[in-house]
Amino acid sequence: MIISTIGQGFLWAILGLGIFLTFRVLNFPDLTTEGSFPLGGAVCVTAITNGVSPILATLIGVLAGMLAGLATGLLFTKGKIPIILSGILVMSGLNSVMLFVMKSPNLSLLNQSKIFDLLNFLNLPPDYDKIIVGLIILILVVGGIIIFLNTDLGQAYIATGDNEKMAKSLGIQTDRMKILGLMISNGIIALSGALIAQSEGYADINKGIGVIVIGLASIILGELLFGELTLFERLIAIVLGSVIYQLLILVVIQLKLDTTYLKIYSSVILAVCLIAPQFKLKKGGR
């Protein structure tokens, strides 16, 4: 039970890492997330049901998410549409794209192979496949982000988020950086969508509703619990934040509170986390 929740926390953490790249580094509230997340699942599941191997199918899902990010990026930078609106436009448009891809609003993976089945030969107890696959992918994603942010390109990307005018004066093509960021971020978000769809056994066009909350929750919980951190530590904090958030939800369910009103519980948890740092500041007298 708790193991399964930790596994889910790992898979959702990938979403948090994706959102981190735009929300924290670029200071973008990118709403494409709620479209690219189910898109990754939709494309991946469709590919698997058509006989593509799960790993390749997952990668195709990532590619689809990157294209969604590209669309938002172009609307925002070239079309001069505000970022929130660009994201909303792409998000709602993706609903039709997913219907076109899946040919139905919901597609099941029952009796199909999934990426987690690759570990079947290890004969693990249930749910450990999610932990191991989740860990491997988290290491790849976290490693990838760190390597990327330490290249010249990555430094230019960070500069764009820190101070766009300054970055421009240094000759950085900030528009390109924004598009790049939206693509990478949405690719990672779609990766999370593809993995979650495989772990839950189906893709659904409405799966994206509310996922941005889960992603932000892992970022915010991580920041709240662990405070000032280096880049590497921050990424780890997001992963832990995601696990803690899933555990909190589990506690709410286990406490036998009426799950009909589950959404307000998660909203309260998040609101408390967002308010808490202010009290800390006052106490510390900083």
Binding site for other proteins (CB under 8 A): 1-6, 8, 12, 99, 103-111, 125-126, 128, 131, 196, 199-202, 204, 206-207, 209-211, 214, 225-227, 229-230, 232-233, 236-237, 240, 243, 246, 249-250, 253-254, 259-263
Cβ closest to other proteins, residue 178 vs residue 207: 207
> CA-CA distance, 89 to 76, in Å (whole number)?
11
CB nearer to other proteins: give 12 or 20: 12
**What is the distance between the alpha carbons of residues 138 and 37, in angstroms, rounded to a whole number?**
17
In whole angstroms, how close is the CB of 109 to other proteins at the nearest point? 7
Beta carbon of residue 131, minimum distance to other proteins (angstroms, whole number): 6
Q: Which is nearer to other proteins, 13 or 177 (CB)?
A: 13
Minimal distance, residue 271 CB to other proteins, in Å: 18
Give dist(CA 174, CA 167) in Å, integer.
7
Q: How far is the CB of 16 from other proteins (least distance, A)?
A: 13
CB of 85 to other proteins, least distance (A): 24
Scan for tokens 């580094």, then name that residue.
Answer: 25
By C-beta, is 59 or 250 nearer to other proteins? 250
Name the H helices within the chain: 2-20, 33-49, 54-77, 83-102, 128-150, 152-162, 164-169, 174-200, 211-226, 231-254, 262-284
Of the candidates 177, 179, 180, 269, the residue with the CA atom closest to the CA atom of residue 216: 269
**Lookup: tokens for 103:** 């040919």
Question: Could you tell me the two tokens for 110?
Answer: 């029952």
Q: Which is nearer to other proteins, 56 or 229 (CB)?
A: 229
